[in-house]
Structures are given as structure tokens and as C-alpha cells.
Amino acid sequence: MTATDIRASSATLDRSAVTKPRNMGQIIRWLLLFIGGVLMVMPIAYMISTSLKWPHEVYNVNLIPQEPTIENYTYVLEDGRFYWWFVNSIIIATITTISNLLFDSLVGYTLCKFRFPGRQIVFIAILSTLMIPTEMLVIPWYLMSQSLGWLDSYWGIMFPGLMTAFGTFLMKQFFESVPDDFIEAARIDGLNELQIWWTVALPLVKPALAALAIFVFLGNWTAFLWPLIVTNSVEMYTIPVGLSGFGDEADVAWELIMTGAAISTIPTLVVFLIFQRFIIRGVVMAGLKG
Amino acid sequence: MRLYSNLSIKQKQIVWAWAFLALPVLFYGIIRFYPTGTAFVISFQEWNLLGDRTWIGWVNYVELLNDPVFWKVFVNTFEYLLIGTPLSLVVSFVIAYHLDKLRFMHGFLRMLYFLPFMTSAVAMAWVWRWFYQDVPIGLFNNLLASVGIPQIAFLNSTTNALPAVLAPAVWAGLGFQVIIFMAGLRAIPQSYYEAAKIDGVGWWTVLTQITIPLLRPTIVFIVVFSSIGFLRIFDHVFNMTTNNPGGPLNSTKPLVLMIYDTAFNGFNMGYAAAQTVVLFLILLLVSLAQLWLLRSD
């Protein structure tokens, strides 16, 4: 036997000895991760399951309702409040998202591709606002809203989030990858700067825009502290603020509370399930670059 | 228009740049910087929102230092941080590390872990609050009862309430951290692992000598990101204890809830502003720590 043969045979030996436990190991690993994953979605599963149960079955720990009903949904939606809150949240999250997409990308683009006096100062100033927590600003924002009559209005809920330093920084990072030659070429073709940004640069950073849109929309859909402070009347509540008050009011009617919680959660879950791959990629991009 | 066309290309660029930035600069000035200044100013004033604002110097800060509730809240806030951050870091790393080694239904498993991140904190706080109720209402106690284990008072106990409130916050954030960790693991060049394999190095050595050191930027990011999140915890606490926010006996009250209470229930604006300044300083320290940790790379 030559040395190579020995090595080859020991390798086959090795493999036959190792493969089986390895496969076993992979199966155990898969099973454990699967069990963990199922436990992770249990709270969501129980929320949905309980929202489909009759009151007398709520304290039963079975996950599948014995006689599923949509009675809770008709009851909760009947008085119209969840409907308003839902519409309010949609409007606020949508407008804020559009505003962030436009302004964050415009500012990010300008800071990335233009050379002008004051550029560095503007960049550092915007970046430094990342260090200021929202909680520090809510009191001044409240006073400002009070004196300007913005309390209890869509504008009042939205104005603090219309632009974000996070989004600006994210977009700036992505515009770095747009070649200056493209912009120069467009300039020579006679496009003005606004057109260049809109027709040349923006289409090249679509993935970043999508990632930003997901973050901003989700953030505004679930935002609680500021909407809680700035709204007074029930019709102006967003879904989280409404749900919080509804939970107190429904007291021990847990099937109704779970229904409200499900109404506020299902839309984002559905969107996630449809665009899963895309959203996860976006979250990674925003998380790592932002 | 003639004026514009007389400008050089470089000058035109400057005009465009400032035209693009005009509105945003106003926004950041009025909605971010000016209020930050206002918060500092109010923290040196006494003001109940209706009467006059009077300067009182450092009184709010001195009062804060002598307020036993503040110290309780301070400890609570750091308890959220010191339990939440390491716990979510380790759990999410273990999940990501193993998930990264699996191909079979990888996307499906990843989806299961990520799903909670897409939920709203308020909705999930209410779901968990229901889980924590006593027999015969709450799921956890019902499950415990069915295997004969005595009931646990989750939200009604001064010792258990804080971890109970923290659990859904950790749960909701795990998916995000798992995804970030997996991206970090993917970024490690395969050649390191191959070299280790040739040298016959065991998995523990590979993990501690290759994987973890190379994941350092990812780990720093996750630690800072989740620390800031736990220091600012509010939604979960508020919604799980609405009958007595921050209770029982302030045992779950974090700094942000104290700020909210002082400002919008007590209308003691100056005192609340002083608390926000403290929060700001704590978060600033965390951010500076991140910069410092990343620089030494």
C-alpha cells in the first residue's frame, strides 16, 4: 500500500464513521430549531386562535378553536372605532413613508454627490441627531404642538417623523455605489439636477428605498409613545393607541382584546409573508449599513 | 434666470445643493435641534404647563438625586438592559449559528424566528399579559396547573413582574438579531474554515478563535442596538401594567415611563425634562462606547 492509498482508505473509513452521527446531529439540530421556531410563533398563533373562539372556550389551552367564529371580529369592528384607527394608521404610516423616501434620499444624494460649502457641517449635524432620543423631544414637541394648534391632528402625529437621520444616512451609503460617470453623462445630456436625481440616481438604489420604506412604515404602524401623547380624541387615535385603551375597557374579555391585537398585527404579517425574502434582505441592508 | 445661466458649473451645483437642502435643514433645525435646546432649558425651570415658567437652576436635578422613585426606576432600567441584552445576544447567536448550518427548509425556519419582529409591541404586550394571568385565565398558569406545578404570580409579584415584562421585548427582537448574525456569519470567508479543517481543529476552537472574533463588528452592533432598545423600553411596560403603570410598587417602571408620568400625568414639565436629560446622557454614553469599541479594530 502506498501512502496515498492509506490516506484514501483512512478517509473513507473516516467518512463512514463520521457521516452517520453527523446526519443524526443535523436531524437533531433541525428538530430543535423547528421546536424553537414553533415556540416563537406561539404567541401569534394563540392571539389568532383566541380571536376566533367563543368566550366560553377562551380559557381552554387548545390551539384549534372547537367551533371557530368570526363573531369577535364583527363585534369589535361594529362600533367603527377600529376602522377609524386602522385608517388613521394607514394614512399616517403611508404619508410618513413617502416623505422619508423623498427627503431622505434627496438629502442623502445631495450629501453624497455634490461638493459645496457647508456639506460637512450639514452631514455631521444630521448624523448627530441620531444621538437625540425621541423621549427627550416629546415634551418640547408637545409644547410646540400646543402653541401651534397641532395637537390631536394627523399633522401633529406625523411631523416629528417626516425625515429621519437614519434614512438619510442609509441612502447616502447607497448612493456611494452610483458611479459619478452616470451623473456626469446625464448632465451632458442636459438634464437638470432634479431630473438627474429622479430619473438616473433613484432607480439605481431601489433596493435601498424598499428597505427604508419597510422600516419607516413598520415603525410608524407600531409607534406608540408620541401618538399617545399628541392625540386626545378617540377618532384621532392610531391603532396602537386605540388598542391600548380598548384593552383596558374590554377588561377581562380576552377574546375581544386578542381580536383587536390580531387586527393590528395581521396586516404586517401578511405583507411580510408575501415579501418575505425581500423584507429580510432589506432589514439586513438597513441594519448593517444604517 | 439670466443670473443663473451666468454661473459656472460649480456655482450652479452649490445653488442646487442648497435648494435641495433648504427644507430638510429647516426641518432638522426646528424639529430636532431647537427642541433639544428647549428640553435642556426646561430642565432648569419649574413649570406646570399652565402657570409661568420660573428659573430654578439645578433644583430639578437635585430633586432627582433625592427621589427614591428615580433610583428605583434607574435600577429597573439597567435591569432591563443587563438581563435583556446578554440574554438576547446569546440566544440569537445560538439560533443563528445552528440555523446557518442547515439547508433543509432553511427559509421556513428563518421565517418562524423572524415573524415576531413584524408584530406591534402594544398588541403583543396584551397577548403576553393574557398569558400571565392567574388560573383559569392565563395560558402559562393553565399549562403549569395541567402538569401539577403550583401557580406563579407573574405580573402581580414585585420580583417576577420585571422579567415577565421583559420577556416579550426580548422575544420580539430575537428575529432581527438572528438575521443580522446570519449575515455576519455569511460574511466570514469560507477559507478560514477550510484551513481550520485541514489543521484538524475542533469545533469549539473554530467557534472561539475564528467565528466569534470575526463577528466582532456584528456583535458590537447588536449589543449597542439592543442596549438602546432596552434602555428606552416603554410600550411593553405601559401596556402590561395599564391598571397601575410601572407597578406593582414601581417594580417594572423604566425611565421613559417615569418621564411620561411626570410630564403628562403630573404636568411637572421641568422635572420630566431633567429626567429626559439623564436618559440622553445614558444613551450618549452607550453610543460613544460603540464608537470606541469599533475604532480599536
Q: Quick one: cell of B10?
A: 460649480
Amino acid found at A240: P
* Matching residue, cell 425581500: A278
Same domain, A171 and A241: yes
pLDDT tens for chain A, 290 residues long, are 344 444 444 444 444 444 455 688 889 999 999 999 999 999 999 999 999 999 888 888 888 888 899 999 999 998 889 999 999 999 999 999 999 999 999 999 999 999 999 999 999 999 999 889 999 999 999 999 999 999 999 999 999 999 999 999 999 999 998 999 999 899 888 889 999 999 999 999 998 898 899 889 999 999 999 999 999 999 999 999 999 999 988 877 899 999 999 999 998 998 888 888 888 888 887 777 65
Maximum CA pair distance of chain B? 88
Chain B, 32-61: which have a CB under 8 Å from a chain A CB?
Answer: 32-36, 38-39, 42
Chain B positions touching A139 (Cβ under 8 A) are 38-39, 42, 259, 263, 269, 272-273, 276
- Which residues in chain A touch residue B25, judged by CB atoms under 8 angstroms apart? 122
Distance CA B164, CA B128 (A): 9
**Residues of chain B where predicted confidence (pLDDT) is lower than 50:** none
Closest CB to A139: pick one of B10, B18, B269.
B269
Whether residues A88 and A227 share a domain: the answer is yes
Q: How far apart are CA B217 and CA B297, in angstroms?
A: 9
**Beta strand residue intervals within chain B, DSSP E:** 45-46, 54-55
Within this chain, do residues A172 and A254 fall inside the same structural domain, yes or no? yes
Please name the residue of chain A whose CA is at the shortest distance from the CA of residue B138.
A59
Q: Given this model, what pLDDT does residue B110 score?
A: 92
Cα–Cα distance, B1 to B3 (Å, whole number): 5
pLDDT the model gives residue B211: 92
Domain end among A15, A41, A71: A71
Which residues lie below 8 Å from residue A7, measured CB to CB, with a gap of 6+?
none
| Residues B76, B78, B84: CA angle, nearest 5 degrees | 100
Strand (E) or helix (H) holding B202: none
Whether residue A84 is found in the same domain as residue A107 = yes
The model's pTM = 0.89
Domain with CATH 1.10.3720.10 in chain B: 66-295
Q: Residue A136 CB: number of other CB atoms within 10 A?
A: 25
Domain that holds residue A153: 79-289
Burial of B98 (0-12, 13-18, 19+ CB in 10 A): middle
B115 touches chain A (CB under 8 A): yes
CATH class belonging to B66-295: mainly alpha
A83 plus A63 within the same structural domain: no
Residues of B in contact with A273 (CB under 8 A): 111
- Are residue A226 and residue A246 in the same domain, yes or no? yes
In whole angstroms, give the CA distance from residue A101 to residue A125.
20
Residue B178 CA, chain-centre distance (Å), reads 16
Residue indicated by cell numbers 432638522 = B28
